[in-house]
Chain A
Amino acid sequence: MTFSLLLTQLLNGFQLGVLLFLLSAGLTLVLGIMHVINLAHGTLFMMGAYFAAATFGLTGSFMLAAVAAIAGSLVLGAVIERVVIAKLYARDHLYQVLATFGVILLFNEIARYGWGPSPVFMDVPAFLSGTVDLGGVVYPAYRLAIIGVGLLVGAGLYFVVHRTRVGMLVRAGATDAGMVAALGVDIRRLNAAVFAAGAALAGLAGLMAGPILSVQPGMGEPVLILTLVVIVTGGVGSVRGAVYGALIVGVVDTVGRAFLPTLMRELMDRSVAMAAGPAVASMLIYLLMAVVLAVRPAGLFPVKHG
């Protein structure tokens, strides 16, 4: 194991973490402030990728694809909030799970109908198609760009949440939604805005993932599961928790996959390690989540109450 390989794997973990952060930031706010379980968040990720791939296919421009992905999923998020979620705020979580699961099935079928069951092509912009040499570590330029975009969004989100009036209301809503409403804030409009912003972030994640992953029906579900792991690990409703949770999950998953099978081969019989190594590596983040839940049930960085 060389130092440059370790560094590359850390960058890989960081890049996965950044992508997961874009997804979990929106979802954690929806869950924390609105107390709504939105399983359709992965669907917004998928539709963002499809909007991007379709626009890219028509125009060949990555910039237009970015506009389409973000604007498209923002509008779609607002519509889903108004049509499906708004009617279920007062209901039990089970109704929300059922309704948003229905949304997943609906949009997977729409994608299959509109674009077919095979993956759709989406390329990286030409100026990011190569690799960058970071002092001995050769890294794909596009993945560096993902890290850059994620850090920018993270900084922007930090500014909005901690330095603006809207952000203050969001934080207040996360702590005590009833009190905020009692003070005369239109909590429904705040909810709709948060939901749409979360959808736009999911669409942005879909855009960034489009050239790496295959854009196809059902691509949102595996990502949704990872996102839920991030939120539970980081602490529901906390943007800070989403940042750290995403980075921890990204790095643990990647570094575990990269080095655990090799490590196990050193420690035990080769045939056992060959069978167990990959399996344990892919379980690692769930083990992490289980330990976090056992030790700190509210997550590593919970919202501070009171």
Chain B
Amino acid sequence: MFVDSLKRTAAVALTLWAAAHATAQAQTPVKIGYLGTFSGPIGAIGQDNYDGFMLAVEQRGGKLGNTPVQVLKEDDQFKPDLGLQIAQKLIDKENVPIITGLMGSNVAMAVARPITEKKVFLIGSNAGPSALAGAQCSPYQYVVSWQNDGHAEAAGKFSNDKGYKRMVLIAPNYQAGKDALQGFKREYKGQVLDEIQPGVTQPDFSAEIAQIAAAKPDAVYAFFPGALAVNFVRQYQQAGLNATIPLQTSSMLDATTLPALKDSALGLFSTHWWAPDLDTPTNKAFVDAFEKKYSRLPSLFAAQGFEAALLIDSALARTKGDVTDKAAFMAALKAGNPKSVRGALKFGNNNFPINDYLAFVVVKDAKGRHTLKTVATPLKDHQDAYHAQCALK
């Protein structure tokens, strides 16, 4: 009796295994390493990025470019050394031909060269440090998000357009904060009254806000990442400055921070390349599908995860699922993607995207949720300032 059932089970298992093996032989899945950040200070945006990426994979029944893919999800915890270990494991043990993700610029700087030197394709879906756009560009490296300075350059241009003559700038004292101030000043033509750089772990900005109030500028430009954005915007509003000194932000108001800000962010301006109302067919379908699956509005970071999956999808479709011919896959990636979230994704010589930057205002949508509404396009077909330092043609 027992032996019988054991035999039966074994037979069933064997048949199943054979069946699975047969399909596997028909089409071996392409392995994609997703090196993301799920814990630490930017864990929330990392999760959004991954959810966006996986939405595209699931919509296509586990395939990209009609080729089955296997996504290996890894957490670098926002630590460069850990990110490097994981990248090496993905390349040497798992033999992945493609690595995507890369949330933090610190991690990106640590892993980009070790990945591209091994001729593994790197599809960056968030971080865009200046070095990777300049001297350290590579034909194996494609960034679907943005160069770090972009959102701030757009804010600088938008401030000119609004006629602000005297401004105070504030951003935390670390690399991305300095990049933001640099980028803003590259486009801003007016007078900079003061540049304030609070510590990157500092949660309360009462002293800095008092300084701003005393300087009486036409407007303030601010960049703060993640939770710091929530702190700053709320404290600025509590100090009663929303009504008197306009606050121009960039890259700090989106679906990851607005639910914690609500009315205190109403009427504030922000700049970036994406907002939920971006008017392209792919983006509309993406926002609807994301909301349906996860019951929340997507953020910029979710859109970038989705964009990365779409680029891999279009490239694999062009090579019919072949990643072994490196030159062919390279050409397929470089060609960009005509049906991307952006509309058409096109790369500059350094394989960073060339696209418009938009300005938004925070409004309430029909369902009473706080979201971004596009009001202007300060920069058209904008290319980053570092592409000339890249040796690629």
> Cα distance A220–B262 when bound, in Å?
23
Residue of B44, B207, B240 near A258 (CB, 8 A) is B207
Whose C-beta in chain B lies nearest to the C-beta of A282? B199
Assess whether B206 is in contact with A16, with CB atoms less than 8 Å apart. Answer: yes
Contact A130-B202, Cβ < 8 Å, known A5-B210, A118-B259:
no
Does B231 touch A at the CB level, under 8 Å? yes
> Cα distance A254–B240 when bound, in Å?
20
Assess whether A216 is in contact with B204, with CB atoms less than 8 Å apart. Answer: no
Min CB–CB distance B3 → chain A (angstroms): 46
Dominant secondary structure of chain B at its interface with chain A:
helix
What are the residues of chain B within 8 A of A117 when measuring CB–CB? Answer: 39, 43-44, 47
Residue of A2, A129, A277 near B238 (CB, 8 A) is A129
Assess whether A5 is in contact with B256, with CB atoms less than 8 Å apart. Answer: no
Assess whether A258 is in contact with B231, with CB atoms less than 8 Å apart. Answer: no
What are the residues of chain A within 8 A of B206 when measuring CB–CB? Answer: 12, 15-16, 143, 254
Q: Which residues of chain B from 176 to 190 have any CB-CB distance to chain A below 8 Å in the complex?
A: none
What are the residues of chain A within 8 A of B213 when measuring CB–CB? Answer: 8, 138
What are the residues of chain B within 8 A of A12 when measuring CB–CB? Answer: 206-207, 210
Whose C-beta in chain A lies nearest to the C-beta of B214? A5
What are the residues of chain B within 8 A of A184 when measuring CB–CB? Answer: none
> B32-47 CB contact bits vs A (8 Å, 1 = yes)?
0000000101011001
What are the residues of chain B within 8 A of A8 when measuring CB–CB? Answer: 210, 213-214
Does A142 touch B at the CB level, under 8 Å? yes
Whose C-beta in chain B lies nearest to the C-beta of A221? B201
A-B pair number, CB within 8 angstroms: 104
Min CB–CB distance B14 → chain A (angstroms): 41
> A256-268 CB contact bits vs B (8 Å, 1 = yes)?
0110010000000
Whose C-beta in chain A lies nearest to the C-beta of B233? A214
Assess whether B262 is in contact with A213, with CB atoms less than 8 Å apart. Answer: no
> A77-98 CB contact bits vs B (8 Å, 1 = yes)?
0000000000000000000000
Contact A213-B210, Cβ < 8 Å, known A118-B44, A119-B227, A119-B260:
no
Residues on A lying within 8 angstroms of B by beta carbon are: 2, 4-5, 8-9, 12-13, 15-16, 112, 116-121, 123-124, 129-131, 138, 140, 142-143, 211-216, 218-219, 222-223, 254-255, 257-258, 261, 274, 277-279, 281-282
Residues on B lying within 8 angstroms of A by beta carbon are: 39, 41, 43-44, 47, 173, 195-199, 201-204, 206-208, 210-211, 213-214, 227-228, 230-231, 234-235, 238-240, 256-257, 259-262, 264
